[in-house]
Structure 1
């Protein structure tokens, strides 16, 4: 379905399906976009699966830090799989229709995995805080049981909240248009299609974002303020460099993820534009997951050493 055909779709009184505009306004680049998204998706899958395999095979990486990193890599695989396969289907089949239920399901999984990422990033910062600021108590505080509990809470904590938010959003009536000017079902473009005043729904989005994203981010900031203070007190520059290297990768991932996501969800609806929303969404849904394996592996000597062992064994 090309861009002109999308324009000819008639509105019905009851919404049964939406149309994802995606990148249909770039008809001459459809083949190029399909190739790019395919390559990026493969890179994300290979990079994150490789980290999971390395951590599971190497005994020197059986530590809380790498346990959470394996969870994070698993999450990134799930996270991108919510959006990228649908993008490839839409471009490849030139069929941009998506049913109401499929759209709600995609949004729900996207929000749940997004919440998991926020919580897991907070847990990983807490792990680094304990390791650097309270090293003597680290084995006791971050015991295997405690790590498992923190991981389970991260994976499951956002499910009830985001299911409720998804149900609330799709309880609205849609009358402005049924064409979602985005490449997946996300909150800002869906709210634009709603009839009447959506201020209550926008407020609920802000509240949920503050609860599942802003609060974990505050915990990350508190952890790193204490970490940086502790590192600056270390007597040698070598010690400071070693301590900072163990958390710098995680801090970079936090800044990349939260920077683009915050701009997307905390702006008023009137300030949203389709082009900007797509660009920001591409950044935190696809670009960041693609670079995460590189950030964690290239900046971590233990991961590089474990990778060399795996290669030499093969």
Structure 2
């Protein structure tokens, strides 16, 4: 899909819809991209659904850590379902037109699933810290009621945060162009189209991103420093191996998720869009949800054993 198909709007025109651009104008390439994204989407749904299934029906996995892992898998399935199916439609039909309300809804949903995922990873780090460093206090600190409270709090905070940023994104006027150089809508790509001063919007995004994501990352980093220091003092190799089998996957997931988010949101909206931005944005929307079940399945012995028991049962 080329930009020439959608001319720049005049200054007097107001945007009533946006147009998403794909990677190529060649039908064969668009079809191959769509098939690839669809396969990744199905693999992501299958892997995360498998984790949800085994952590729900395996009694040995009814612990706080796997409760939050199940929440993480549900969030991953919801998040990728907001972005990838529409991207496949854009690629296959060469029609990326979307209304302003539809665009706002997608941005809201992307944000509402992103923040709870980050908070879920943070709580999982807290869970491992208490389990490894304060084992005697674990039943009281990570009780089922506390886990439910933290889940509800993360969802409510995500709704408030998403509503604020969505409203902040669509408050400026869009009158210069309606062509979005992405396969789905995100805040930076839309701010590039504004004919208003978006400096305050960018400051708000930067402050919230640094405050929330930076705070969570710092908490996770400190937690794992204490965890690994405690694990290395463990008297037996078996205890160290068991601790590493649960901590290492979470460390990898946090690294993938945070680096992906930073790659999309750090770039200023005033920077001209490039094809690399489109590719990076798309990869950041599909890699973390796909990597989570892969990392946990390959590195977590309890998950692998639970999957084997589930497969034998069916």
Shift of 1:78: 0.5
Long gaps (5+) in structure 1: none
Question: Which SS does the other structure have where 2:234 is aligned?
Answer: coil
SS state of the match for residue 158, structure 1? Answer: helix
Summarize deviations over 1:1-47 as a string: whole Å, max 9, x none: x4266244655611100101132445440110111111111111111
1:70 alignment partner in structure 2? 70
Residue ranges of structure 2 left out of the alignment (5+ in a row)? none
Question: What residue is the counterpart of 2:293 in the other structure?
Answer: 293
Residues 193-202 or 266-275, more deviating? 266-275
**2:252 corresponds to which residue?**
252
Q: Distance in 2 between matches of 1:291 and 1:262?
A: 17
Secondary structure of the residue aligned to 1:189 is helix
SS in 1 for 2:183: coil
**CA drift at 1:175:** 2.7
Using the TM superposition, name which of 2-11 and 32-41 deviates more: 2-11
Secondary structure of the residue aligned to 2:190 is helix
Is 1:164 the equivalent of 2:158?
no
Asked if the contact 2:17–2:98 (Cα under 8 Å) also holds between the matched residues in 1, the reply is: yes
Superposed, 1:96-111 pairs within 5 Å as 96-111=96-111
1:193 counterpart SS class: coil
Q: Could you tell me how far apart the structure 2 residues matched to 1:14 and 1:268 are?
A: 24
For this pair of structures, how many residues does the alignment match?
313
Contact 1:107 1:185 in 2 (8 A): yes
Match of 2:5 in 1: 6
Q: Are residues 68 and 222 of structure 1, via their aligned partners in 2, closer, same or farther at CA, if it must alter by over 3 Å?
A: same
Distance in 2 of aligned mates of 1:99 and 1:200: 25
| Aligned counterpart, 1:186 | 186
Task: Tell me what 2:31 maps to.
Answer: 31
- TM-score under structure 1 length normalisation: 0.94
Cα deviation per residue 1:159-194 (whole Å; 9 max; x = unaligned)?
112201111110111133110001111011111111
Q: Output aligned runs, 1:1-314, within 5 Å.
A: 2-3=1-2, 6-8=5-7, 10-11=9-10, 13-25=13-25, 27-271=27-271, 273-314=273-314
Do 1:182 and 1:274's aligned partners in 2 also have CA atoms closer than 8 Å?
Answer: no
